[in-house]
Amino acid sequence: MARAPFTYPFCYTPAPDIVAAAKRLICFLDSPSGSWGPENFASLIPPTASQRVPPVHEATGGHGFPPPTATSASLKEGKMLGVLKVEDDKGDIDYLYAFSGTVGGRATLPGFVPPIYDLTEPEGYFRRREAEISAMPAGPERSAASAELQAWIFDRYRVSNARGETLSIREVFARRGLIPPGGTGDCAAPKLLQYAYDHKLTPIAMGEFWYGASPASEVRQQGCFYPSCTGKCGPLLSFMLEGLEVEANPLDREYTTDTEPRMLYEDADILVAVKPAGMLSVPGRTRAISLLEWLRQRYGEVHSCHRLDMDTSGVMVFARKPAAKAALERQFARREVIKTYRARLVASDRPFNHARKGTIALPLSLDYYDRPRQMVDREHGKMAVTEYEVLRQLPDGQIDIRFIPKTGRSHQIRVSAAHAAGLGRPVKGDRLYGCPDGGRLFLHAESLSFLHPASGERMTFEDKSLS
């Protein structure tokens, strides 16, 4: 039977065996400290597999993570972990594990693959030179020395791909005319792939997931899988995956669905339509047809006035004349348009300790190294204000909720739902801020109310088709 393509790391739904392997690791890390022995770590993998990473030794105190008390939330700084399913030349299957960055100042822990290059050696050149630079007075000499040390680091990080080619990280980025950001190469995914190539193992599937307490800025939930960042890992993983058959980017797919856009209203000035989930609002970088193009095929001249994310469904208004477009855009800019969204939040083992109605206010900014994600940035972010109302809690723990955004920040509803400083519950099916399950994003623009650009009459359109 033909093997499935390898995971596309920048947008994916984790394979079931990757999810199962992640759960085994989380259960192990959450176990009482007294059971952190080598025999327990070996139980993480199927009985038919053999663990190919350094063994756990009793003298190290187990895997090295701080011991949780009741839950993994006691790990003050959460950590992105990764699991890689590999096959050896005999056809045996293994699961490899890695963590991003360091844990407790250590880059190497028993049971996890080692770093591509270990900078934590106390007597190594990096530590010695770092101390010398720290002692320098601020100025051009110190800046030049820091840049020289950074270049030295990225020359030591050497990575391979499935074709057997090897380059330094600096060379990988230079091919694109880029300089690697600090920390490149220390994420779980490149560690896992490099270990596999070094040991002649074939990568089959991969996933990266969060363990521990949520950070203050990024949206991270215990046990949820997240795509690799595009800033640090984009160029790096693209090179390391060369020679593997990799899944197509789901965002590049042609738009295919049994659900077509539905018209709610039309006149000489405006069109109101319901956009299906998975359809672009306006033309993007792919050839997939957008709602704007779909309308132009049927109505001729049509202009966009606002957007919905591709994965979000719901009510949209379009202008048929430039004057109508200008009038509608003024209303959006002045926040005179009233919008409501219906969403379903995922179930959780943590209680939902929020009022039935409330307001979420978070300062958001673009995560520069992980576009298009937004992050909470209390220094430079722009405030995103969202009202919510809990509609019902389902028997399985999922929550139906209505959101009313008072500002128009990118992804503000999704971040307000998922972030620990918001509701702490991702929208079901959210591939950026939640746990992707292969289904649609349960976020729907339920109603839109605005003044007609010609008559000035208040018009409200509603669609409750989210299911």
AA identity, residue 165: E
CA 377 to chain CA centroid, Å, is 17
Is residue 309 part of the annotated active site? The answer reads yes
Query: In this structure, what are the phi and psi dihedrals at residue 144, rounded to the nearest 5 degrees?
Result: -65, -40
Residue 422 burial (CB count, 10 A):
23
Residue 71 burial (CB count, 10 A):
13
Give first-to-last CA distance, the chain, whole Å: 36
What are the start-end ranges of the E strands in 239-376?
A: 262-266, 270-275, 303-304, 313-319, 338-345, 357-366, 374-376
| Burial (CB count within 10 angstroms: exposed 0-12, middle 13-18, buried 19+), residue 246 | middle
User: What is the per-residue DSSP string for 116-177?
Assistant: SS----TTSHHHHHHHHHHTSPSSHHHHHHHHHHHHHHHHH-EEE-TTS-EEEHHHHHHTTT
Residue where the block lists tokens 């899988």: 225
Nearest 5 degrees, angle CA 272-CA 336-CA 415?
85
Residue 192 burial (CB count, 10 A):
25
Instruction: Note whether 339 and 445 are within 8 A (CB).
Output: yes
Instruction: Note whether 417 and 343 are within 8 A (CB).
Output: yes
Instruction: Note whether 196 and 52 are within 8 A (CB).
Output: no
CA 335 to chain CA centroid, Å, is 29
Picking from 354, 445, 434, the residue whose alpha carbon sits closest to that of residue 393 is 354
Q: Could you tell me whether strands 270-275 and 262-266 are parallel, antiparallel, or unpaired per DSSP bridges?
A: antiparallel
Catalytic residue of the set 94, 309, 311, 367? 309
Q: Which residues are marked as active site? A: 309
